[in-house]
Structure 1
Amino acid sequence: MTKEALDNVERSSWIDCSNPAARDSVADIYFGQATVATPETTEFVAGGSTSSLVTGPSFGGSTEEPTKIDINQELNIIYKEDLLEHILCSIDDEVKSKTSVVSMTLFESKPCSHTKFRELAVIDMWSPGPLLVHHTDDADSYVNINGHFHWESNVFKLVYLLLTWSSPTRAYHQFYKCVVNGLNDQGQAVTFSKTEETKFLRNSGSHCEKENTESLNQKPSAAIMKSIETISNDVKTLNQKMKEDTEILYSKVLSLEAKLLTFRQEFNTSIDNSKGEIEDMNNRTADQMGIFKQSSRALQSWSKTVQQNRHLYFKARDLKVSGNFRGKVYIISKSSSQFNIKNANEECKSFGGYLVELDDDDEYNFVYKYVEQERFWGHSFTGGNDLKREGHFVYYNSGKPVPRLTGWSKGHGNQSLHTWSQ
Structure 2
Amino acid sequence: MYLRTVLLLLGVLAIASAQGNPKPLMLRVNKPLEKDRDLNPLQAFCTFKNSMTKMSTVNSLTILRSETGKKADFIPIATITPKSKSSGLESELTASGHINQGGESAVIAQYKEPNNGYCFYYKCLIEGTDKQGRQRSYSRTIQDVCKTDKRKTCCADLTEKVNKITEEIENNAQASLDLGPKLLEAANKLASIDRVTYSVSSVYKGRVYIVTRVDAFFNIIAAGKECVNAGGYLVEIDDREEQKFVGAFGKQAGRVIFTGENDIETEGSFVHYQSKKPMPNLLWYGRNPSNSGNEPGEDCVIVFAIGLNDVSCKAKGKFVCEIPLI
TM bucket normalised to smaller: 0.3 to 0.5
State which structure, 1 or 2, has the greater radius of gyration over its C-alpha atoms: 1
Greater relative contact order (CA < 8 Å, ≥ 6 in sequence):
2
The structure carrying a bigger helix percent of its residues is 1
TM-score (norm 2): 0.33
The structure carrying a bigger strand percent of its residues is 2
